[in-house]
Amino acid sequence: MKRLVQHLHTYLQGRCTPDEVFQVETIGRLLDADYSGAMRYGEIMRHGDFGLGTFTGLDGEMAAVDGLYYRFGPDGSGDAVDPESQAPFAVVKHFQTDITIRLDGPCDLEAVQAAIDAELPEQDALCAVKISARFDDLQFRVMRRQTDGTDLDTASKSQAEFHEQGLEGVLVGFRFPADSAPVGVPGYHLHLIIDNGRLGGHCHGAVLSDITIEIDDTDHLHLAAEDGMTRLTAGMSADDRERLDRVERERRT
C-alpha cells in the first residue's frame, strides 16, 4: 500500500520512477582509456536519487543518496555535483528498499557482502545496496584527473588513498552479476559518503559495526551506451579482467 501511494504521488508530480538500474556507458570504455564525458549529470539525476560514478577525465568520485549528488575531490572532501559536469561512467537508481538486514558486527566488507548474497533471490541478482554503519576501519580512494589515453591501471597508481577510523556514514552502490564485464563492474562496487559529503570516495575495505543494510533488487538494467551492443557481445579478455580487479579492489601504494 505504501508503495502504491508513493507511486501515485510521483505519478501526480509527473515524474517517472521506473524500477531499473540506469547506467551511463561501460567499464570496458574506461578500460579503453576513454574518459570523455558521455552524459550531463543534470540528465543523469532524472534517472535516480542514488548511485555512483565518475567525472570527465576521472576527475573525482561521485556518490549520491536521497537525491543529493556529491563530487569528492583528491583531498577526499565533497561538493554538490554541478549539473553541467559530465560522466564517462555512472550507475544510478530510484532507490526503494525491498529487504532490510541488521548486523551488530564488527565485520568486514566481505562478511557484509556474504550476508547480502544470502538474502538475494538468485546468485546472479542485480541490486542496489545502501549500507549505513559505524566504520571502525575504513579504506577508500579518489582518482585524480587524467588525460585521455592514460591506461586505467596507470591512472589508478596516482589515486589519493585514505585510511580512517571511527566514522559513521553510508556506503552506496550496486551488486552486478559475475559475468557483467565489460559492461558493468562484476560483484560489489561501493562508494562512501561521510557526514553529508564532508568525506567520501570509492571504498576498498572496511570493518563495520551497527550495520543497517537496505537492498533494492531489480531485473532491469537500462544501459545508455553508444557502443553497448558491441561491448555486450565482445566479452572480456582475462588480461582486462585482471586489470579491472586491480583497479577496483586494491590499494595501489
Smallest gap from Cβ 53 to Zn ion, in A, equals: 8
Each residue of 174-198: b (16+ CB within 10 Å) or e?
bbbeeebbbbbbbbbbbbbbbeebe
Q: Which is nearer to Zn ion, 71 or 202 (CB)?
A: 202
202 lies in the site for Zn ion, by CB under 5 A: yes
71 lies in the site for Zn ion, by CB under 5 A: no
Candidates 16-24, 92-100, 119-127, 198-206; binding stretch for Zn ion (CB under 5 A): 198-206
Q: Which is nearer to Zn ion, 99 or 223 (CB)?
A: 223
Candidates 27-35, 36-44, 151-159, 197-205; binding stretch for Zn ion (CB under 5 A): 197-205
Other CB atoms within a 10 A radius of the CB of residue 62 amount to: 27
Distances in whole angstroms, Cα of residue 174 to Cα of each of 8, 15, 190, 214:
27, 23, 7, 11
Other CB atoms within a 10 A radius of the CB of residue 92 amount to: 28
Smallest gap from Cβ 60 to Zn ion, in A, equals: 11
Distances in whole angstroms, Cα of residue 8 to Cα of each of 13, 16, 17, 20, 21:
9, 10, 11, 18, 21
Q: Rounded distance, CA 139 to CA 153, Å?
A: 19
Q: Which is nearer to Zn ion, 17 or 206 (CB)?
A: 206
Candidates 32-40, 103-111, 145-153, 195-203; binding stretch for Zn ion (CB under 5 A): 195-203
Smallest gap from Cβ 182 to Zn ion, in A, equals: 16
Q: Which is nearer to Zn ion, 47 or 202 (CB)?
A: 202
DSSP reduced 3-state for 129 = strand
Candidates 62-70, 134-142, 157-165, 200-208; binding stretch for Zn ion (CB under 5 A): 200-208
Smallest gap from Cβ 233 to Zn ion, in A, equals: 25
Beta strands in the chain (DSSP E): 21-24, 39-40, 50-54, 61-65, 68-72, 78-80, 86-87, 90-93, 99-103, 107-108, 126-142, 160-164, 167-176, 187-194, 199-218, 221-224
231 lies in the site for Zn ion, by CB under 5 A: no
Q: Which is nearer to Zn ion, 17 or 92 (CB)?
A: 92
Q: Rounded distance, CA 201 to CA 251, Å?
A: 13
Smallest gap from Cβ 5 to Zn ion, in A, equals: 34
Smallest gap from Cβ 201 to Zn ion, in A, equals: 8
Smallest gap from Cβ 110 to Zn ion, in A, equals: 17
Residues 19-58 that bind Zn ion (CB under 5 A): none
* Binding residues vs Zn ion (CB under 5 A): 202
